[in-house]
């Protein structure tokens, strides 16, 4: 039996431990709601407009951007492979594009076929209706583009490394510690969604607390019934 199932079974069979875990789950949901509300307040002014030429480390202090830059139409992508065939995309699951945003000078360098230094590497999930572009290598058109999302000084997910390595293999781009990363699918939480999450956590904890005495009452009744049944059988067993 997998270890996780053994642990879950152990927790479920011990009443107080079970309810402690359920209360903890509700508390963490409540804290997540508070976090969403804080995030909504942080980004309540919406994205700041900017272009890749004006970015710096200071830009990360308020990292929600409507960002403009130049793309040379080159990209890599990651997807869920079917079996051993890495070239066959599972179109039922997300396909993610990775591509550079460049300043004008670097864009001209790239178009000339020389090594360029992207200011930003973009991560963007392909909409389902556009996934066929993978088969025709036509997912991006070169030129100016404006994206809304979150800017980071570090790679967004460790699982992105392979796709970004594909983007830079052959030395076509220079990606280093100064390269920034942009999640074009990120949106800040809203106060409304945070309030909903917080209320779910409160409701979870309340229901857990109310169900405990009911569970204890039912358990006591079951024990009393079993005791009465055993007592009723005792004289018959002695005759």
Per-residue model confidence as pLDDT tens digits over 149-168: 999 999 988 888 888 998 88
pLDDT tens digits along 100-136: 999 999 999 999 989 999 999 999 998 888 888 888 8
For residues 67 and 148, give the distance between their C-alpha atoms in angstroms, rounded to a whole number. Answer: 6
Alpha carbon distances (Å) from 124 to 22, 62, 139: 36, 20, 11
How much is the pLDDT for 57?
A: 73
Residue 180 in this model has a pLDDT that exceeds 60:
yes
* Higher pLDDT pick, 82 / 178: 178
Residue pLDDT, tens place only, 204-214: 999 988 888 87
CB atoms within 10 A of CB 26: 20
Structure letter (DSSP) for residue 12:
H
Q: 173-177: long-range contacts at Cβ-Cβ below 8 A with a sequence spacing of 24 or more?
A: 173/100, 173/110, 173/115, 173/116, 173/117, 173/118, 174/115, 174/116, 174/117, 174/118, 175/118, 175/121, 176/117
Q: Quick one: pLDDT at residue 80?
A: 54
pLDDT of residue 224: 67
Quickly count: other Cβ atoms within 10 Å of residue 72's Cβ: 22
Quick count: other Cβ atoms within 10 Å of Cβ 95? 20
Give the mean pLDDT of 29-40: 94
pLDDT of residue 93: 67
Beta carbons within 10 angstroms of residue 200's beta carbon: 15
Tokens of 172: 């076509």
């Amino acid at each position: 039996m997998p270890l996780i199932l053994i642990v879950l079974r152990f927790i479920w069979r011990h009443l107080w431990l079970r309810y402690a875990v359920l209360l903890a789950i509700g508390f963490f949901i409540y804290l997540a709601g508070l976090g969403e509300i804080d995030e909504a307040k942080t980004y309540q002014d919406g994205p700041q407009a900017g272009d890749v030429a004006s970015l710096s480390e200071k830009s990360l202090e308020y990292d929600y951007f409507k960002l403009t830059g130049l793309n040379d139409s080159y990209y890599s992508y990651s997807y869920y492979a079917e079996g051993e065939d890495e070239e066959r995309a599972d179109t039922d699951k997300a396909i993610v594009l990775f591509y550079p945003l460049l300043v004008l000078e670097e864009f001209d360098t790239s178009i000339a076929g020389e090594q360029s230094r992207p200011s930003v590497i973009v991560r963007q999930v392909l909409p389902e209706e556009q996934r066929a572009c993978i088969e025709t290598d036509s997912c991006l058109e070169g030129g100016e583009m404006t994206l809304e999302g979150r800017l980071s000084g570090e790679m967004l997910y460790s699982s992105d490394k392979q796709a970004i390595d594909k983007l830079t293999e052959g030395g076509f781009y220079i990606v280093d510690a100064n390269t920034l990363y942009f999640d074009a699918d990120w949106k800040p939480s809203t106060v409304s969604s945070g309030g909903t999450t917080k209320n779910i956590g409160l409701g979870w904890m309340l229901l857990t607390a109310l169900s405990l005495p009911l569970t204890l009452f039912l358990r006591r009744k079951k024990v009393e019934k079993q005791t009465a049944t055993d007592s009723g059988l005792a004289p018959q067993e002695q005759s």
